[in-house]
Amino acid sequence: MTNDMPDTTLAADPSPDAPGDATDDAVGYYTPGDPIRDTKAPEGPIAERWQTRKFEARLVNPANRRKLSVIIVGTGLAGASAAATLGEAGYEVKSFCYQDSPRRAHSIAAQGGINAAKNYKEDGDSVHRLFYDTVKGGDYRSRESNVYRLAEVSTNIIDQCVAQGVPFAREYGGLLDNRSFGGVQVSRTFYARGQTGQQLLIGAYQALERQVAAGTVTTYTRHEMLELIVVDGKARGIIARDMVTGEVQTHLADVVVLASGGYGNVFYLSTNAMGCNVTATWRAHRKGAYMANPCYTQIHPTCIPVSGSHQSKLTLMSESLRNDGRIWVPKKKADCAKDPREIPEEDRDYYLERIYPSFGNLVPRDIASRAAKYQCDDGRGVGPEVDGVRRGVYLDFADAIARLGRDAVEEKYGNLFDMYARITGEDPYSLPMRIYPAVHYVMGGLWVDYDLQSTIPGLFVTGEANFSDHGANRLGASALMQGLADGYFVLPHTIRDYLADGPFEKLAADHPAVLEAEQSVKSRIDHFMTVGGSRSVDSYHRELGHIMWEYCGMERSEDGLKKAIDLIRTLKDDFYRNVKVLGTADSLNQSLEKAGRVADFFELGELMCIDALNRRESCGGHFRAESQTEDGEALRHDDQFAYVAAWEFGGDDEQPILHKEDLVYTAIEMKQRSYK
């Protein structure tokens, strides 16, 4: 712990930055707003803040809870855990998801594991170390009080999940096993083979279904939230579409929770599920909730490359492959189409080992990703040509097989090799794997205070949908931890303080604010059903994804971002005039569902570019070409950018308004990273 940090990193200029500042690339694209001064975190030593908050949060009499209603959008780890817990507490909960069952939320796909500071291995782990690693991993762009709390409650998560029957991996003695994950030096990751997300989600789902049977929770599956209802400044409900009948429904409540996941699908291709979207949070943003750090995206280096223009999504393979696989591309462009086994050793460029001799193939995710992109941009990528470029690098196990034997490699990576073989039709035991980076996770999301409340009173946001804990980059195995921490252990305490003032005045179904929300949803639907254009929704989505990936992906520059903003605006105009949605509005209509989501992705994409343009520094997953060291490494500028960029919606065709929350570290010292 230190209190002697250089003053420059703490200097908080209370007045909004004047646009026109030498480094303000985004001038003309935004309006400066007031800084955010209060995040509602209690004062005092960091280790005591959560206890203080829990004590100070007002209680709700058990007899009154039944009269208080909560809407929760999302049944992933963050949503299902909250719905189950609030149901158990006795509130009246309505839970929404777009899939046909709550159990199918995207959390199900998480593979690697979940972190917790249990220190079962006695290897020096502690709450403070998990806190430290998370802030450092986030490149000092997260809010320290929230991160500390996350580390603090992490241990309760494991207790809860074990009691629910989550079958974590165990040692022969019957105790829980742990592994080290994502380059950290302690073994704090709990796992259930390669299906940790599935097992944790099934645990939360079962707890949720138990409450359905108990009558405290009602589930609305195949229901999509399309609008937030705000009355007298407070979130009071949602407009949802029954995706089977097409009915546009009003659901009112005392409080609304968004646990709707991340928006990586703005890139079209990502490792996210097909339906992942920004609609729930974007609609709330348009109603006054600030969107924080939207440009922070995590790109994962070990995904299976695109095989053709039909590609609909990308598949992640565990990072652990980099422990034994060696990454290379041909030195000569002419060799790129050759059988890799025929390329002699001296004609191969093991570029990570060459550039980063001490970390080699194990450099952090963003560095490995960017390096792969540079090789392919340079014309030395491998694999099939898609749109004229080969986007892939080799991940070669020939040396590992020679050194350890085929059996040992199979023992360690067999299931990943099988998955690779199924998808590509190639045998990775005899032919090097091909990998390429893909969008995997978004650190940005709706701004929330210490209570996980957004800038709209009564609207709480949990899980990947909020921005809160991972700063500019997320550590492996920490998203599952955050989702469950928020839903089981944080939100249930903070939301009661808000609900202590309820039940709020009953709203009539024909309240003007309700009718307005309903009308806006109906007119959007009408618009898509009647444009009668000529291009499919998917074709627009794919083109938007290309723009985002090209200019707001692994490397961003002032010129590229400005170009992207123009391209997005033009494409968006065309979309509204020329999109083609067939079928009817009053039945299951997947094109109509997608049209609504893509419309919101256009607006989000533009804001992401503006945010990236404003942040003329490289930090975490955000790399600005203009901000690098002489040898091409990311360069952070704590003196100018140690803040959360929280964007307020300015209105259609108006500039967004930037509010800055200065990041002040009292329990940790800011450092630049180096991997050379």
Q: Which residues are catalytic?
A: 365
Work out what residue 321 binds among ligand FAD, other proteins, none; the CB cut-off runs from 5 to 8 Å by kind.
none
Which one of ligand FAD, other proteins, none is in contact with 274 (Cβ closer than 5 to 8 A by kind)?
other proteins
Residue 306 near residue 424 (C-beta atoms within 8 A): no
How many residues sit in the footprint of other proteins (CB under 8 A)?
78
Task: State the minimum distance, in angstroms, from the CB of residue 170 to other proteins.
Answer: 4
Q: Within positions 164 to 193, which residues make up the interface with other proteins, using CB under 8 A?
A: 164-165, 167-176, 192-193
**Binding footprint of ligand FAD, residue count (CB under 6 A):** 45
Distance of CA 243 to the CA centre of its chain: 25
Closer by beta carbon to other proteins, 529 or else 642 = 529
> Contact between 383 and other proteins (CB under 8 A)?
no
The answer to whether the CB of 438 falls within 8 A of the CB of 316 is: yes
Among 73, 235, 363, 645, binds ligand FAD (CB under 6 A): 73
Q: Does 416 bind ligand FAD (CB under 6 A)?
A: no
d(C-alpha 52, C-alpha 44), whole Å: 9
Residue 100 binds other proteins, judged by CB under 8 A:
yes
Q: Which two tokens stand for residue 516?
A: 């307005």
The binder of other proteins chosen from 104, 300, 322, 572 (CB under 8 A): 104
Residue 538 interacts with other proteins (CB under 8 A): yes or no: yes
DSSP assignments along 535-604, one per residue = B-HHHHHHHHHHHHHHHSSSSB-HHHHHHHHHHHHHHHHHHHHHB---S-TTS--HHHHHHHHHHHHHHH
- In whole angstroms, the minimum distance from the beta carbon of 481 to other proteins comes to 14
Determine which residue in the list 39, 199, 260, 618 makes contact with ligand FAD, applying CB under 6 A. 260
Closest by CA position to 263, among listed 141, 445, 468: 445
Which residue number is nearest to ligand FAD in terms of Cβ? 76
CA dist 307 and 297 (Å) reads 23
* Shortest distance in whole angstroms from residue 547 CB to other proteins: 20
162 part of the interface to other proteins, by CB under 8 A: yes
Of residues 119 through 138, those in contact with other proteins by CB under 8 A are: 120
Q: Angle between the 196-214 and 144-164 helix axes, to the nearest 10 degrees?
A: 70
Check residue 602 for interaction with ligand FAD (CB under 6 A): no
Using left for φ > 0, alpha for ψ between -120 and 50, and beta otherwise, residue 215 falls in left
Give me the least distance between CB of 190 and ligand FAD, in Å please. 10
Span from 67-75, 305-313, 333-341, 644-652 in contact with ligand FAD (CB under 6 A): 67-75
464 binds ligand FAD (CB under 6 A): yes
For residue 196, which of 271, 114, 118 has the smallest C-alpha distance? 114
Whether the Cβ atoms of residue 78 and residue 487 lie closer than 8 Å to each other: yes
Q: Which stretch binds other proteins (CB under 8 A): 127-135, 213-221, 429-437, 557-565?
A: 213-221
Interaction between residue 224 and ligand FAD (CB under 6 A): yes
Binding flags for ligand FAD, 92-111, as an x/- string (CB under 6 A): ----xxxx-----xxx-xxx
Q: Is 520 in the site for other proteins (CB under 8 A)?
A: no
For residue 675, the SS3 value is coil
| Per CB under 8 A, 37 contacts other proteins | no
Q: Which does 250 bind (CB under 5 to 8 A by kind): ligand FAD, other proteins, none?
A: none
Binding flag, residue 51, other proteins (CB under 8 A): no
Q: Is 546 in the site for other proteins (CB under 8 A)?
A: no
What residue has token string 């050379």?
676
Binding mask 334-363 for ligand FAD (x = CB under 6 A): ------------------------------
For residue 189, the minimal CB distance to ligand FAD (Å) is 8
Task: Check residue 77 for interaction with ligand FAD (CB under 6 A).
Answer: yes
Cβ closest to other proteins, residue 100 vs residue 123:
100
Does residue 219 bind other proteins (CB under 8 A)? yes
Using CB under 8 A, which of 256, 273, 284, 646 touches other proteins?
273
Map residues 505-544 to x or -, x wherever contact with ligand FAD holds by CB under 6 A: ----------------------------------------
Phi, psi of 171 (to 5 degrees): -85, 175
Least distance (Å) between residue 232 CB and other proteins: 32
Neighbours of 351 (CB within 10 A): 20
DSSP letter, residue 442: E
Q: Is 158 a residue that touches other proteins (CB under 8 A)?
A: yes
Would you count residue 473 as binding ligand FAD (CB under 6 A)? no
165 versus 405: smaller Cβ distance to other proteins: 165
Query: Closest CB to ligand FAD among 105 and 435?
Result: 105
Among 2, 31, 101, 185, binds other proteins (CB under 8 A): 101
Strand duo 385-386 + 389-390: pairing: antiparallel
Query: For the purposes of burial, counting CB atoms within 10 Å of the CB of 249, is it exposed (0-12), middle (13-18) or buried (19 or more)?
Result: middle
618 binds, among other proteins, ligand FAD, none (CB under 5 to 8 A by kind): none
Q: With H, G, I as helix, E, B as strand and everything else as coil, classify residue 238.
A: strand
Nearest to residue 149, comparing CAs of 450, 514, 473? Answer: 450
CA distance 209 to 215: 10
E strands within 74-134?
Answer: 92-96, 114-115
Q: Does 424 bind other proteins (CB under 8 A)?
A: yes
Between the CA atoms of 282, 287, 288 and 294, what dihedral angle is there, to the nearest 10 degrees? 10
Is 277 an interacting residue with respect to ligand FAD (CB under 6 A)?
yes
What SS3 class is residue 79? helix
* Residue 342 CB contacts under 8 Å (≥ 6 apart), including other chains: none
Does residue number 415 form part of the binding site for other proteins (CB under 8 A)? no
- The residue assigned the tokens 């994502």 is 182
Nearest to 17 by CA among 434, 641, 478, 498: 641
244 binds, among other proteins, ligand FAD, none (CB under 5 to 8 A by kind): other proteins
Helix (H, G, I), strand (E, B) or coil at 257: strand
Amino acid identity for residue 399 in this structure: D
Q: Among candidates 478, 462, 458, which has minimal Cα distance to 470?
A: 478
- Using CB under 6 A, list all residues that contact ligand FAD: 73-79, 96-99, 105-107, 109-114, 196-197, 224-225, 259-262, 271-272, 276-277, 279-280, 316, 440-441, 463-465, 477-480, 483
